[in-house]
Amino acid sequence: MLRIDYNILFTIVNLLILFWALRRFLFKPVREIMEKRADDIRNSFEEADQDRREAEEYKEQCRKQLGNIDEAKKQAQEEARRDAAKEYNRILADARKEAARIIQESKERAAAAADEERRQAESDIVKMIKSAAAKIAESEDDSKMYDDFLREVNQEK
């Protein structure tokens, strides 16, 4: 039969003390370390999620800023085109005015030169008529006078 003696009782007490000591000094610190490690991992995941969300927000802000920059670039290009067109039209108008002034001055000079040529021609004609009239008065023969007139006209050319 089963005999219960003091050895079994001491063995049971020893086992209970050993169980309590292991639980207190081994299992509890290991469990705390494992819980702390699990909390650290959870916190790392939460921080990673937060960082990912912040990165996405920053990425979206960058996209918006790039869109704004593209729009500003287009506006600046359009404004530069308008300014260039205005400057082109102004330069073209100035050039047309200058061309009209030059043409007007040229017309005035040409008219003045034509008037001078006309006066000179009139003066030459008057001289020739006077010369011819003087020769007519001197000359007796019309054919001789005609020949002299033709010679004189040919010499002046």
- Estimate to the nearest angstrom the gap between the alpha carbon of 126 and the chain centroid: 71
**pLDDT score of 141:** 62
pTM of full prediction above 0.85? no
| Confidence grade of residue 140 (pLDDT, cut at 50, 70, 90) | low
Contact 60, 52 (CB under 8 A): no
Contact 130, 116 (CB under 8 A): no
Rounded average pLDDT over 68-90 = 92
Average per-residue pLDDT in the chain?
A: 87
| Helix residue spans in the chain (DSSP H) | 6-22, 28-138, 142-156
Identify the burial level of 29 via C-beta atoms within 10 angstroms of its C-beta, where 0-12 means exposed, 13-18 middle and 19 or more buried.
Answer: exposed
| Confidence grade of residue 130 (pLDDT, cut at 50, 70, 90) | confident
